[in-house]
Chain A
Amino acid sequence: MANKTIVDFEAIKNNLSNVSKPIQVLNENAEITNQEIFDTFSDDDLVEFMKKMVWERALHEQTMNFSRQGRMGFYAPTEGEEASEMGTVLAMKKQDYLLPAYRDVPQLIQHGATVTEAYLWSRGHVVGNKFKARSMMPQIIIGAAYVEAAGVGLGIKKNKEEDTIAFTYTGDGGTSQGDSYEGMNFAGAYQAPVLFIVQNNGFAISTPRVKQTAAPTLAQKAVAAGIPSVQVDGMDILACYAVAKAARDYMVAGNGPVMIETLTYRFGAHSSAGDDPKRYRTKDQEQPWFEKDPLIRLRKILTDKGLWSEEQEDKLTDEYKASFKDAIKEADSVPADTVSDMLKRTFEIPTPEMKKEIDKFEAKESK
């Protein structure tokens, strides 16, 4: 029999759901819900945000086209997540480190990789990883970036690098992996400047967020590690940018890590390799999220202000898509890899056994 007089566990559990509302600046009807934050943005800022989201949407559409033509490898669709991805990455500075997950290729491009490199990464060519940006490649193991980010953050601190932090991303599913806790806990213990971003898009492939954890919010998962965390409307680029920027400012002032959970939605499939969302969610469930499309609300505000038009957006989209077509042509022209080079890349100094293997393959390849 439950004995409430010793400890009222039920009350403690219920209290976990008493969390602040997600931070929002612009709601889905394009109404300003936080004037104070909204007023920090100039008209130029708003236009810049819109352009970035149009760019990411165009990148997605063109990449899906290439995918249907059999010209891509692994691709994780990003449609619906433009506010969450562009909003946060725009708060980065060039000297910051990025540790992205596989759906974060647009952020990697924003941080300095070329679209050609991104396409080569998708296809599975080493040149795709040879970007000059301070970034890891898109991580496949969903918790791994979090533990590595703690090390990058500690390295930044030990290097006494000013105005520099690490940004890392995972998804709602990623927060279930032990590494995501270990990474946050290490960063907390060392007060390392790492911005942990959880893009909660509702599904880990097919598993809905509610089946992932009993925690009322994913942001709460940082609390146990002593890390301040907050939920943000992930369909509102103004909120995503403002919060990521505030978190970065907080860390460069000498403070430890922060975690942000963006509430967003993956409009399409998990990956372009045969996942079908119809198997695990209904149109009725999807529709309300489609109405929250991050482009719609900002487009409306900008149009009302006379700063944006359909023609302008179409023209931009065409320009972006033309540049992606150039990028894939460039990717097509990269020479194929060789086995001897794969062997040479394994160690700086090849082992005696590998030297023989290299010779063997070089002889074959020169024929």
Chain B
Amino acid sequence: MAKKTYIQAITDALDIVLEDDPKTLIFGEDVGKNGGVFRTTQGLQEKYGEDRVFDTPLAESGILGLATGLGLTGWRPIPEIQFMGFSFEAVDQIAGQLSRMRFRFDGLKTAPVTIRTPYGGGTHTAEMHADNLENFFTGIPGLRVVMPSNPYDAKGLLISSVENNDPVLFMENLKLYRSMKDDIPDGKYTVPLDKANVIREGNDITIVAYGAEVNEALKVADTLAEKNVSVEVIDLRTVSPIDTETIFKSIEKTHKVVIVQEAQKMAGVGAQVASAIAEDAILSLDAPIGRVAAPNSVYPFALGEDIWIPRAKEIEEKVNEILNY
């Protein structure tokens, strides 16, 4: 057991899967000698050699085409897309190819590929580096989308993703990379790919969140606890699939829900959660579904992020509104 950052937890997981399974391969832009632009793969090429951990030419479709082909020849690729905004270059390989392999071949050929990629706002990057693109990628059948909110989950979810025999898009939150530390057990452990986590128990209202917004929701829970309001916080952990059972169980108890996401409000994860509740659990509620999401503009330039991304303040306002309905 040691205190580790989100990045260190990911490096730890990669080290374990490289050690455990000689068929795993890590590749992407600058992941070799440089250890990745965030040092997530630091030391891995040195330890496992250039055959297992290697740099690629600068082309995302090529990187994921490589993953599809390596998967066909018996390898278990863990490609990195350096920033999630660059994944648009590889949409055919993700949506048109990798995610369809099992379906196409009825399991005779598969794509056991875990795509790692950093995303998320608040660190004032250049354009196309920070967008929350899960709204886009959760619309792809055959692809799991994983968004850990803390170092412990990051390690356990990444090991589960690599061991899964289907493609997984593993989204690493940029803002969380070095901003928090958890006690991380040494060695291997897994966190399931279809189970949300009730990260804080409460009775008065449920906040459903994922990624960096989980910490914001926990801040709100702390603030409201001082006012004797008991908030339950659910961390989705995976946004495809979404564990609706855990959400329904919670709102049966609290009768109120606020769904929080850092992404734009349109056509996305929060909308999916709201629709699932409306379809199958609406009678548990005694107030409208509350939603907190980013505005439906294009993702802002760096200087616009602070007024655009919803954080604890906006969540608290919405929670109070629903509580006082």
A residues whose Cβ falls under 8 Å from a Cβ of B: 97, 126, 129-130, 136-137, 141, 144, 146-156, 158-159, 166, 178-179, 182-183, 185-186, 189, 342, 345-349, 351-354
Flag if B69 contacts A153 (CB, 8 Å).
Answer: yes
In angstroms, how far is the closest chain B Cβ from the Cβ of A17? 29
B300 within 8 A of partner (CB): no
Flag if A348 contacts B166 (CB, 8 Å).
Answer: yes
Interface centre among A154, A156, A182 (most CB of B within 10 A): A182
B66 within 8 A of partner (CB): yes
Closest B-chain residue to A136, C-beta based? B72
| Among A144, A153, A156, contact of B96 (Cβ-Cβ < 8 Å) | A144
Q: Please report which residues of chain B, range 127-173, place their CB below 8 angstroms from some CB of chain A when the two chains form the complex.
A: 141-142, 144, 164-166
Residues of A within 8 A of B69 (CB): 147-155, 166
Interface residues on B, range: 35 or more
Closest A-chain residue to B67, C-beta based? A151
Interface centre among B69, B107, B245 (most CB of A within 10 A): B69
In angstroms, how far is the closest chain B Cβ from the Cβ of A90? 23
B21 within 8 A of partner (CB): no
B104 within 8 A of partner (CB): yes
What are the 5 tightest A-B residue pairs by CB atom distance, in nearest-first order? A151-B69, A147-B65, A155-B73, A351-B241, A182-B62
In angstroms, how far is the closest chain B Cβ from the Cβ of A94? 15
In angstroms, how far is the closest chain B Cβ from the Cβ of A175? 15
B230 within 8 A of partner (CB): no
Closest A-chain residue to B99, C-beta based? A346
Closest B-chain residue to A189, C-beta based? B57
Residues of A within 8 A of B96 (CB): 141, 144
| Among B56, B57, B75, B242, contact of A158 (Cβ-Cβ < 8 Å) | B75
Flag if A345 contacts B106 (CB, 8 Å).
Answer: yes
A189-B57, A346-B102, A353-B244 as given contacts; A148 in contact with B194, CB under 8 Å = no
Q: How far is the CA of A112 from the CA of B242 in the complex (A)?
A: 41
Flag if A159 contacts B73 (CB, 8 Å).
Answer: yes
Known: A152-B70, A182-B59. 4 other contacts (CB 8 A): A144-B92, A150-B69, A182-B57, A346-B103
Residues of A within 8 A of B74 (CB): 155, 159
| Among A137, A146, A158, A348, contact of B110 (Cβ-Cβ < 8 Å) | A348
B97 within 8 A of partner (CB): yes
Residues of A within 8 A of B97 (CB): 141, 144, 148
25 contacts between A and B (CB under 8 A): A130-B106, A141-B97, A148-B68, A150-B62, A150-B65, A152-B70, A152-B72, A153-B69, A154-B70, A155-B69, A156-B73, A179-B61, A179-B62, A182-B59, A182-B61, A186-B62, A189-B56, A342-B103, A347-B102, A347-B144, A348-B102, A348-B164, A349-B166, A353-B244, A354-B241
Residues of B within 8 A of A141 (CB): 92, 96-97
Residues of A within 8 A of B64 (CB): 147
Flag if B102 contacts A150 (CB, 8 Å).
Answer: no
B325 within 8 A of partner (CB): no
B254 within 8 A of partner (CB): no
| Among B61, B67, B141, contact of A346 (Cβ-Cβ < 8 Å) | B141
Flag if B105 contacts A129 (CB, 8 Å).
Answer: yes
Flag if B62 contacts A147 (CB, 8 Å).
Answer: yes
Q: Please report which residues of chain B, range 47-97, place their CB below 8 angstroms from some CB of chain A when the two chains form the complex.
A: 51, 56-57, 59, 61-62, 64-75, 92-93, 96-97
B residues whose Cβ falls under 8 Å from a Cβ of A: 25, 51, 56-57, 59, 61-62, 64-75, 92-93, 96-97, 102-110, 141-142, 144, 164-166, 194, 241-245
Flag if A186 contacts B92 (CB, 8 Å).
Answer: no
Flag if B106 contacts A126 (CB, 8 Å).
Answer: yes
Residues of A within 8 A of B75 (CB): 155, 158
Residues of A within 8 A of B51 (CB): 158
Flag if B65 contacts A348 (CB, 8 Å).
Answer: no
Flag if A130 contacts B105 (CB, 8 Å).
Answer: yes
Q: How far is the CA of A155 from the CA of B73 in the complex (A)?
A: 5
Flag if B93 contacts A144 (CB, 8 Å).
Answer: yes
Q: How far is the CA of A353 from the CA of B73 in the complex (A)?
A: 31
| Among A182, A345, A352, contact of B65 (Cβ-Cβ < 8 Å) | A182
Q: How far is the CA of A63 from the CA of B56 in the complex (A)?
A: 43
Flag if A186 contacts B59 (CB, 8 Å).
Answer: yes
Residues of B within 8 A of A149 (CB): 69
Q: How far is the CA of A178 from the CA of B73 in the complex (A)?
A: 24
Flag if B105 contacts A352 (CB, 8 Å).
Answer: no
Q: How far is the CA of A185 from the CA of B59 in the complex (A)?
A: 10
Closest B-chain residue to A186, C-beta based? B62
Q: How far is the CA of A348 from the CA of B112 in the complex (A)?
A: 10
A136-B72, A179-B61, A182-B61 as given contacts; A345 in contact with B103, CB under 8 Å = yes
Residues of B within 8 A of A185 (CB): 57, 59, 62
In angstroms, how far is the closest chain A Cβ from the Cβ of B53? 13
Interface centre among B68, B93, B141 (most CB of A within 10 A): B68
| Among B25, B70, B104, contact of A137 (Cβ-Cβ < 8 Å) | B104
Q: How far is the CA of A342 from the CA of B164 in the complex (A)?
A: 19
Flag if A151 contacts B72 (CB, 8 Å).
Answer: yes
Residues of A within 8 A of B73 (CB): 97, 151-152, 155-156, 158-159
Flag if A186 contacts B93 (CB, 8 Å).
Answer: no
Interface centre among B56, B62, B68 (most CB of A within 10 A): B62
In angstroms, how far is the closest chain A Cβ from the Cβ of B62? 4
Residues of B within 8 A of A136 (CB): 72, 109
In angstroms, how far is the closest chain A Cβ from the Cβ of B229? 31
Residues of B within 8 A of A347 (CB): 102, 142, 144, 166
A155-B73, A182-B65 as given contacts; A147 in contact with B93, CB under 8 Å = yes
Q: How far is the CA of A183 from the CA of B70 in the complex (A)?
A: 13
Q: How far is the CA of A352 from the CA of B248 in the complex (A)?
A: 14
Residues of B within 8 A of A348 (CB): 102, 107, 110, 164-166
